[in-house]
Structure 1
C-alpha cells in the first residue's frame, strides 16, 4: 500500500457562481482556479508520485494539467456525485429545500432525484481510492484529483467516521489532503492543507502513537 495525496480541483466557474455543477459537461476552471492549480506545482514540489489519477470531469483534468500532470490517468469512479436534477441549480435555491437539512445532518439517508445517493457515492469513491492505493507498494506515493464530496467521503472513511459525520470536514478548491495506507489502518496526515505537504508525504508515519464543510462543489 501507499500514501495518497488527495487534491480537490481548483475553483471552477460553477464554484464562482455558487452553482451545483455535479457532472454537467463544460465546467472548467475560472481565472482564480487556474492560478490555484498552477500554484499546486510549487506546493507539491518534492513529491514524485508513482502515478497520478483524475476524475474524468474537465475541472479536475485541467487542475491536474496545470499542476504539472497532463498525463494523469482518468478513473471514472473518481467522478463527482451525480446530483441528478439538482445539477446546474443555484445553491441558494437548493438551500431552501427541506432535504437540504438532511444533507447536512444525515447524508446517508439522502438520494438525489434522478441521481445518485450519497451512500452510493461514498462507497464508489472509497473503494476506488483504496483500489488505487493497493496497486502500489509501500513507499510509493500517488496523487488523486477529485471533488469535494467524494474526497470528504474518503477522508471520513480513513478517520473512522460515518458518512453522517463527513460534513464535519472541509475540503476547499485546490485543497490537498494526505492519507497513509501503508500501516495497519489508514492514517490521515493532513486535511485541506495549503502548505508543507511534501514534508508530510516524505516523513515516516504509521507506527502506533499516543498523546498526541465548503458549500460550493
Structure 2
C-alpha cells in the first residue's frame, strides 16, 4: 500500500481577505502563505516523494513548487484536474461574510451532500472526482514504485476534507466535522478493501517517520491494541 500526504495549499491572498475565489485565476500565496509552504516542505524533506500531484490553480502549484525545492531527487509536478477547486458557480468571488447570510449556507454546513452551487458544481460531484483522482494516482504510484512509496497531493480545503471523509467511511454530510488549515498535512494509506488515516490537519513536526525503511514493509495498520507505531517516533 502506498501512502499519500494530502497537502492543502498554503494561505493565499484570497484566504487573507475572506473571499471565496473558487477557480478564479491569479490567486497566489501571500507572504504568510509562502512561509507556510516552505515550512511544510521542510517537514517532508527527509521523505523521498515518489510523485507530487497538484491542482492546476496557482496557489496549489506554488505550494507544490516549495515541496519540490526541499526534495533531494524531486519528481516532476503532475497537474491533475480532478483535484481542482470546487466550482462554486455564482458564489465564486464573493465575500464569505456575505455568503453566510444566504439560505444555502446553512445547508452547506449541515447537509453538503445535497448541495449544488448556483450555476456550479454539486459537492457530491466534487467529492467523487477528488476521491477517484487520489485513488487512481495512488494505484499508479504503488505500481511504479512499490507498496512503501510515499507521494504528495496538493489541493484545496474542501477536497482534502472530502478525501478524508471517504477514507474514514463517513457520509459526505459529515465532512464539515473535519478541519483542514492552509499548509496542513493529512496522511492516508489505502489497502485492499480498507483505508487508514494516519494523521490529519498536521501543522508541526518532522514527517520523516513516513520515509520507506529499505526493504521493510510499511507499518501495519488496523492492529488490535494499536501497535507499536513507526519505530517509536512520535507524530
Q: Give the TM-score normalised by the residue count of structure 2.
A: 0.86
Instruction: Report the counterpart of residue 222 of structure 2 in structure 1.
Output: 208
Question: What is the Cα deviation at residue 13 of structure 1?
Answer: 0.3
Which among 98, 112, 132 is matched to residue 93 of structure 1?
Answer: 98
Q: Are the counterparts in 2 of residues 111 and 117 from structure 1 also a CA contact under 8 Å?
A: yes
Which among 161, 179, 188 is matched to residue 170 of structure 1?
Answer: 179
Which among 102, 107, 115 is matched to residue 112 of structure 2?
Answer: 107
Distance 1:158 1:36 in 2: 26
Question: What is the Cα deviation at residue 183 of structure 1?
Answer: 5.4
Question: What is the Cα deviation at residue 158 of structure 1?
Answer: 0.2
Q: Does the alignment pair 1:192 with 2:201? A: yes
Question: What is the Cα deviation at residue 141 of structure 1?
Answer: 1.1
Q: Does the alignment pair 1:13 with 2:27? A: no
Instruction: Report the counterpart of residue 48 of structure 2 in structure 1.
Output: 48
Partner of 1:186, secondary structure, is strand
Which among 165, 185, 189 is matched to residue 180 of structure 1?
Answer: 189
- 1:84-142 CA-partner distances (Å, limit 9, x unpaired): 01001000000011111110110001000111000000001000000000102211111
Partner of 2:49, secondary structure, is coil
Instruction: Report the counterpart of residue 170 of structure 2 in structure 1.
Output: 161
Distance 1:133 1:10 in 2: 23
Q: Are the counterparts in 1 of residues 150 and 210 from structure 2 also a CA contact under 8 Å?
A: no
What's the RMSD between the two structures over aligned residues?
Answer: 1.6
Q: Are the counterparts in 1 of residues 89 and 118 from structure 2 also a CA contact under 8 Å?
A: yes
Q: Are the counterparts in 2 of residues 78 and 146 from structure 1 also a CA contact under 8 Å?
A: yes
Residues 176, 207 of structure 1: alpha-carbon distance in 2 compared, 3 angstrom cutoff: closer
Which among 119, 143, 153 is matched to residue 124 of structure 2?
Answer: 119
Distance 1:22 1:30 in 2: 17
Instruction: Report the counterpart of residue 88 of structure 2 in structure 1.
Output: 83
Q: Give the TM-score normalised by the residue count of structure 1.
A: 0.93
Q: Are the counterparts in 2 of residues 3 and 201 from structure 1 also a CA contact under 8 Å?
A: no
